[in-house]
Structure 1
């Protein structure tokens, strides 16, 4: 905008409009990590996260990074120190839960252990569930408390696909236990098993109505390829692996609400985003993908089994993405899994501020100047005003 006026005192007013546009901003919180796997926020804002090679870290409110513990976790191709969860009553009991792979010669096993943490020290170790079959691959590893305050656990088939159909085995399942390791009275098989027929489920999230959704890796050669799945998890249901890949007409098996067809996503962490901070994501599921190297934003009608929309973002920008976690203030923390110089990234919004500019002449001294008002830095709300002599 150019306006020739007398040299004057200019009154500039800035007005923030109700529905300002939002720009996504991604910043690095930590780098030089190796395969961070899970991250959780304590009620006071403290951040805990795991690295697959056995390290448990904490970032306190002063942004100080401290190693809490290092476990002799068997860092297999996919196993190690994986899932991390805090108790629903963490403020009072300081319970912290970990999913660990360990060597049990000649094979591997997985277990879920509860600790008490105070002053960044772990005490009172209690093994809640043990002897979950493990292997170099397909170790599952996600642990999450549901809205019913039960602890849900994803387990892989430990490269023995037939275990997934065996309800007496803990492999290839979604498990459900009480916070002390006991079996809830309403579990379907009088055991920790909640659902079965899974290959390698990696993500768990609930929507606002308490409906559970899981992400799961499809086959990689033994029974075809791809067909990664997003499943709506129900008590006692059979999700088909290894008998069914993708959709089935057999009512014995529960079909995924979405699968990848012949494309491989390798979906990992799953987040149901419920904050107003990033309006475009509110009420949608965000899926971290490893092979796909993107985040998938899913608008799912779970009651009717309909996918309203599926959008890929950050395609190839950060490599393999392991997990997504919502912070208490509505930002999203994203963990990469590239085996070298991995990062914890913070996704937030920069609000663009539409500007209303008024120029009012107050005094006249010269007609030799032009005024340029350049609204060039809308994102930061900076207004650039340039005076230039006409000559």
Structure 2
């Protein structure tokens, strides 16, 4: 027994120690707790809060889940920059070491604006690292207090789902009344009315014809743009909020600036025109014309009719050679060439040259036969088991059955629920079930009023059974441009689909999003069990892919539109990241580890290619702005012996598909392909006979 005086001294010492301890804790925690003005982030599986371990404010402190207690180490703020801040915005949620490899540690660290401190809050409850594309994840799917939180590959599990009031998933309204003023040869002022948003508009993104021009702040409603004299562009604007939600695009304003330097002087006539035949292909060569400002193009005439063009730019003169393919055997053809400048002044014709083709086709391309025309845009095209063709009409929303032998056409029906985008949305890709003879399923990708989607509908007795429609994939974001849309069944029996980034590059790197991807699904719309991320996503980091084709080894090749630098052909690998928007083709940070480089790139002026087909392990690429078809031999994993055909002969080329007997179907897209107006086109469908 202690004496009473000793007990009093002991109680005093204990009380003093307790007071000191409480004071010490108060110095760290209650002051922070008093500043708990953010919101909680709660794990769906555990019901516990995202929590900084031990209430510590030290750099590199890990985060875990813990019972929600209202303290400052559980109070998070989502900033306009995409940061998740804690402790009254003093520290940021951070990926340790800026790792992009699964698994990675999550910690707090002083905010510095790095990509490893940027996050997306998804509508599905995921919180995804912008840099890595990995999901915020409770380690081991644990639910107990103090289970650490990190990042790992997104898998859709409840341990990767969070409830919070932080996220903003509502896009801004469409910017109104786009208009131009002060149009001169090299500049224009573009203005629009403000969008509205539940949180606030952070940016406006200005485009012409699907290509980015500039971004301005959400308080800016007009901007000066650099334009090109004589070039017709369609201007429009999207609104974007701080959470990365992008509005639908404004209506389009068409401009054609005047030339900066008036010019009424025609170029001189090209000289020294010669031609040589190899089988049924003719190669022409000539000496360059001259001009007071510069020759921009050469137009090639055969038998008095224009059959092609060779174009240059303001800084690069056009080539002085042209290949004319698919001619008749043992036939004489007469050619001449004229030069053209940027203001459409045309030279006198060159002297003519006559070339006689060989006795038989020994060339890669032997003959071209027009089999049909259409007043709308042929987009998706397939061959039925009987050798006839089905194709979609993008802006008219119907499907046509074409007999290529007779040219007879029948409209089999209109696809329900299709909507246009005043751009490049509408009725897009088409695929036929591998078991079509028995199940009669057609697979379609199209724009709806709210999204892009993949559906299937039965075709029976040459009629579309619209009551049989099944929606397989919905919720794909849509916009004026960048909708993707190609469908292709693989040798594995799975359906592959391309999706665009919906004019928001962040979608392409977000593995929780289905946009900016190549998707893979079972024919019934379910997710294959061997997909890399447990979702439809097969590959990611794509801008606006529109070409898909399989080679004899079962490998998937993809064609993709670049922005303003280069387009690309990719060999797709399971789970691969192809870099957009961090890189475009081989530019930007495309050499960064983790990004897969394209197998071939094309300057956008020579490309803007949409469809691809593979016949006998040769890749054929149909190009729009480039107005040509490339032929590229697949050698190993490379594309070799690249040749260009029909350079300007038929204009913009959209779709190329294998035809029975080793040939090709080829379609044009020359008129009305950016306005969504039905039946304002004059397009052609060709059969291309291939040689060796």
Which TM-score bucket, shorter chain as reference?
Answer: 0.7 to 0.9
Distance in 2 of aligned mates of 1:67 and 1:178: 28
In structure 2, the residue matched to 1:26 is 368
In structure 2, the residue matched to 1:73 is 418
**1:292 is the counterpart of 2:626:** yes
**Partner of residue 574 from structure 2, selected from 235, 242, 249:** 235
**Partner of residue 667 from structure 2, selected from 320, 325, 335:** 335
8 A Cα contact 2:562 2:604, kept in partner: no
Distance in 2 of aligned mates of 1:150 and 1:349: 29
In structure 2, the residue matched to 1:324 is 656
8 A Cα contact 2:604 2:626, kept in partner: no
In structure 2, the residue matched to 1:206 is 550
**1:309 is the counterpart of 2:613:** no
Distance in 1 of aligned mates of 2:506 and 2:606: 22
Unaligned residue ranges in structure 1 (runs of 5+)? 1-17, 220-224, 275-282, 352-391
Show the 5 A alignment for 1:134-149: 134-149=478-493
8 A Cα contact 2:664 2:690, kept in partner: no
8 A Cα contact 1:170 1:193, kept in partner: yes
**1:46 is the counterpart of 2:394:** no
CA distance 1:262–1:322, shift in 2 (3 Å): closer
Show the 5 A alignment for 1:247-286: 247=586, 248-261=590-603, 263-274=605-616, 283-286=617-620
**1:132 is the counterpart of 2:476:** yes
Deviations 1:310-351 (A, max 9, x none): 111100011110011111222211010012210111112699
**1:163 is the counterpart of 2:507:** yes
CA distance 1:128–1:62, shift in 2 (3 Å): same
SS in 2 for 1:103: coil
8 A Cα contact 1:232 1:302, kept in partner: no
8 A Cα contact 2:483 2:501, kept in partner: yes
CA distance 1:82–1:262, shift in 2 (3 Å): closer
What TM-score do you get using the length of structure 1 for normalisation?
A: 0.77
Deviations 1:241-295 (A, max 9, x none): 0011222221211110111246451111000012xxxxxxxx2100000110000
8 A Cα contact 1:226 1:264, kept in partner: no
Distance in 1 of aligned mates of 2:655 and 2:604: 23
8 A Cα contact 2:662 2:690, kept in partner: no
8 A Cα contact 1:49 1:57, kept in partner: yes
1:20 shift after superposition: 6.1
SS in 1 for 2:542: coil
**Partner of residue 59 from structure 1, selected from 365, 380, 402:** 402
In structure 2, the residue matched to 1:244 is 583
SS in 2 for 1:163: helix
1:63 shift after superposition: 4.5
Distance in 2 of aligned mates of 1:93 and 1:179: 11
Q: Determine which structure has greater relative contact order: mean sequence separation of CA pairs < 8 Å that are 6+ residues apart, divided by chain length.
A: 1
Distance in 2 of aligned mates of 1:330 and 1:55: 28
Distance in 2 of aligned mates of 1:262 and 1:319: 15
1:27 shift after superposition: 1.6
CA distance 1:350–1:160, shift in 2 (3 Å): closer
Distance in 2 of aligned mates of 1:318 and 1:137: 24
Q: How many residues matched? A: 316
8 A Cα contact 2:482 2:502, kept in partner: yes
8 A Cα contact 1:297 1:311, kept in partner: yes
Distance in 1 of aligned mates of 2:407 and 2:603: 43
In structure 2, the residue matched to 1:380 is none
Structure 1 or 2, whichever has the larger Rg, is 2
CA distance 1:262–1:341, shift in 2 (3 Å): closer
**1:102 is the counterpart of 2:443:** no
CA distance 1:261–1:65, shift in 2 (3 Å): closer
CA distance 1:194–1:329, shift in 2 (3 Å): same
SS in 2 for 1:125: strand
Over aligned residues, Cα RMSD in angstroms? 2.1
In structure 2, the residue matched to 1:370 is none
Distance in 1 of aligned mates of 2:504 and 2:393: 26
8 A Cα contact 1:110 1:131, kept in partner: yes
1:152 shift after superposition: 0.2
In structure 1, the residue matched to 2:559 is 215
Distance in 2 of aligned mates of 1:294 and 1:200: 19
**Partner of residue 83 from structure 1, selected from 421, 429, 436:** 429
SS in 2 for 1:188: coil
SS in 2 for 1:332: strand
8 A Cα contact 2:605 2:625, kept in partner: no
Distance in 2 of aligned mates of 1:246 and 1:99: 26
In structure 1, the residue matched to 2:527 is 183
Distance in 2 of aligned mates of 1:288 and 1:148: 25
**1:92 is the counterpart of 2:438:** yes
What TM-score do you get using the length of structure 2 for normalisation?
A: 0.44
CA distance 1:116–1:32, shift in 2 (3 Å): closer
8 A Cα contact 1:226 1:265, kept in partner: no
Unaligned residue ranges in structure 2 (runs of 5+)? 1-358, 672-680
